[in-house]
Every structure is written in structure tokens, then in C-alpha cells.
Amino acid sequence: MYFKVFNYIYFYNHVKKPTPVLSSFLLIFLVIKIHKHLVSIVSGDLMSYKGHNKKTDNLSENNIKLLALLSLLTRPAKDSGDKEIWLKDVALFSLVYRGIISNIFDYDYSSRLVIWKGFYRFMNISQECLSDLDFLIKKGLVEKLRIATKTHWFIIAYRITEKGIKLLENYPTVVQEMQEFLKCKKHGEIMKLELENNAPYLRCSRGCKEEITVLETEDVSYNSEPFSTW
């Protein structure tokens, strides 16, 4: 590239014999042109990369992060003797809530009634996350399990599929970001989620413990007035 530019100036000088001032202007002009050219190549590459993913995967940033989170906590069985790992919905919602308040997920949330350890509790759940899970299920990237318990409650759990694992090979940085999200900041190890009676906790093997405040629902102020149809 530089070689070509140099030749061009030389050629111009040779034919028209411009003044040194004009040569300098030409050089500046060419440098600006080259800079613009390089910038367009770099940004063009990035755009086509993003465009490619959008076209083939049709997944949002939240979708990929959600899938990456499931890839770290669940897994399908490799053969008939292998163990599958599923994640309970309330456990997933706890982590997603932690992700929302840490600006990892761009979701809203609202208070919903769930069964937590056999009792009704209000929990901050994202409707957008639920829609994204349905979308990932439709795409065959996630599977949903519904089990009836002896006491007639239903347990819902989620797990990544082989197709989901394969797709994440295109997004190693997102997987890494979600690994960091689950790591204990002090010891750098991935923390384990435990659902206790009062709240979910993330624990590391060296004693760190972090409460996820997903069951602390916010009070919404409202006014009520008697209503009559008359």
C-alpha cells in the first residue's frame, strides 16, 4: 500500500513537476484517503461478521448470553448411560436477575408468584427472559422439562441441547463473559448456586457467599378508590 502511494507521488512529480507544497498536500490527501479506506475495511469486516451471525442465527445478545449461561450449568447426555444436567427454572431466574442488576442482561423484571421450597413466594422474574427461553426452545437450542411431583406441584427445568453447544462455538467471548459472571471475584473459581429457604446463594469452595436478592420484591406505590358502575 505504501509502496503504491510512493510511486504515485513520484509519477505525479515527474510529469507535472509540482511545487513541494503541492506534493505535501497530495500526500496528506492520500493519507486521508488511505485512512478512510482502512477504516471502511475494518468496520466493513465487523459489520459483515455481525450481519452473518444475524442472518444465520437470528439471535439477540440476550439470547446468546442466556444460552451461554445454560451451557455452563447444564448439559445433555452424550449416550444412554450418561447423566443429563438440568437447571430448575427458579435457579435460572435467580441468576438472570443477578445478571440484570449487574447490567449483563438487558431485561426488565416484575414480581411474580412462584413456589419456592414448597412455599408461595414473590420473585423478580423477567417476562422477556421467558420469551427468550421459548424462542431458544423453538430453535432447538434449549429443552424444557416439566415434572409433576408427588404433591402435585410442577417443576420446570431447562437444559442446553447439542445444537446449542455447537452454536456457542461461534461465541467464545460471550461464554467467557458468562464464566466471569459466575466466578468468585476473590478466588476466581466458578461459584455454586444453592437455593436456601430464605434466598438463593452463590458460594465458592473457599467460603465466599453471596446472596441473590431475587425474592426481595419492591413495593409499588398505588392509590385505590372505590369503584362503582352506577
Q: Which candidate, 83, 86, 89, places its Cα nearest to that of 74?
A: 86
Does residue 212 contact residue 220 with C-beta atoms inside 8 Å? Answer: no
Size of the site for Zn ion (CB under 5 A): 6
| H-only helix segments in the chain | 2-16, 20-57, 61-73, 89-101, 127-138, 162-168, 172-182
Per-residue x/- marks for Zn ion, 195-224, CB under 5 A?
---------x-x-x----------------
C-alpha angle 114-126-179 in degrees, rounded to nearest 5: 105
Cell 445433555 belongs to 76
Cell triple for 163: 445444537
**Residue 137 or 208 having the CB closest to Zn ion:** 208
Minimal distance, residue 212 CB to Zn ion, in Å = 16
Minimal distance, residue 160 CB to Zn ion, in Å = 26
Does residue 75 contact residue 85 with C-beta atoms inside 8 Å? Answer: yes
Minimal distance, residue 69 CB to Zn ion, in Å = 20
| Residues in CB range of 74: below 8 A, 6 or more apart | 84, 85, 86, 87, 158, 159, 160
Minimal distance, residue 206 CB to Zn ion, in Å = 5
The span of 113-121, 140-148, 184-192, 220-228 binding Zn ion (CB under 5 A) equals: 184-192
Minimal distance, residue 129 CB to Zn ion, in Å = 27
Residue 184 interacts with Zn ion (CB under 5 A)?
yes
Q: Of 36, 166, 187, 209, which lies in the binding site for Zn ion, with binding defined by CB under 5 A?
A: 187
The span of 22-30, 97-105, 134-142, 181-189 binding Zn ion (CB under 5 A) equals: 181-189
List of residues contacting Zn ion (CB under 5 A): 184, 186-187, 204, 206, 208
